[in-house]
Chains A and B, each alone.
Chain A
Amino acid sequence: MRARPSSTASHVNRSSELGEETLGDHSWSAFFERYFSDVRTPNTGQEEGVNGDTGVVEKSNIEGTSPTKPSTHVLEFPERPEDFRRRDFRSFHPIQEWEGYVTDIFDQTFRARIVDLTAGGTVEKEEVDLPIADLTNEQREILAPGRVFRWAIGYLRSMAGTKTRHSKIVFRQLPQWTERELAEADEEARRMSADLTRNIADE
């Protein structure tokens, strides 16, 4: 049996970085047990999570498999049953988007240079002061000069049809510098320095 997690797994689904956003959640344990009689989730008392990107059940305890051998079954799921969808489904429709980076932090605000993505901009031609109070606690902890973020203004729509104007700031979860990258960069720098000064040594 092959199964694939539906697009509305237990994580936020984004068709773009800040585009359509569906906030959904469901119980995988109940879903497994209702639809797949040969699948039992571990009796850990915790929700089984699925790595939404790969669809691989990370800690498999599917009956019939060896409990000591890690399983890499890829499960494909049929269309999500109606009664597993949350009723307070919301989506965000951006009207204006910027990408920016923090330049200064003050008591109440932080300053940023921003690129107007909606206008097709490629250079930071504008600057803005934004209230720190609008950030979450987690965002305030990572607020620092150089941090890159996306900022969108648009409408939040509910399933019931109500529309609310909304502003959203998301700090980009850029990757970390890896050991390989730093080593490569340092080697490139040594070669560049040697190229830029070779005649001085020769003289």
Chain B
Amino acid sequence: MSQAVIEREEAIKTVAIGSDEIQLWDLGEGDPILFLHGFEGLWSPTPFLRALAASHRVIAPVQAGFSDSSRLNWVSSMDDVPFVHRAVIEQHLDGTPVSLVGHSLGGWMAAEFAVRFSHLLDSLVLISAFGLLHPERPRRDIFMLDETAFASICCAEQGQLAQDIAAGVYDVNNRATSAQLAWAPRLFGPRLADRLRWVDVPALVVWGERDAILDPLHAEQFAALIPTAETSVLENAGHYAHLEDPEVAALEVLRFLGTSSKEN
């Protein structure tokens, strides 16, 4: 399913970070949302992002090393990643505080950003986020699964969507970049649990009730550690709630954004 060329009929922008560049989708108008995708990459705006863009300005970077984009040579671990997003906010949005929405690996990135740079945030949304190690429910080790096995568990229902997602996750470059960030310690950040107390913006933790990769108990774990967090469980959704049921997921995020901001 790899698309060698990202569609350019929509507003794809380039942000310079030092001598490097990253590309990002810039859709809609309104208060800014910064969306961080996960292992499958981001080839074009999804229905979920378009739904958010009806009432917000949605910035969705093609994260470095995913979807045929180049890696940044100074980024070699999750510890480096928040600085990329800081550059996006400071340079592309002039430092305007954003609502940071991250899914899966991108959710982990969003959490790591929030504990470091919450002054750049208006609110935080974590959707089926990696980053924590649950004492009772180990996450599925997606590095040990093959593409077929992954496709059979990534969504609540099997079918074309699950296969397309798996093709993105198992794209050779996406997979290698994922390993760079999440191979070891595997799929979690040992320091994150102790640091989540520093998130001081409103936070929403969204999980699919049928997430077979990261048990919904992880949502409670995040919520217990983030002082400002509320949780929302979406019925009939798996690990990819925002792709499986984009309208429902977008509605839930918009509800939260509408009722919360640093000023409230």
Answer yes or no: do A and B interact: no
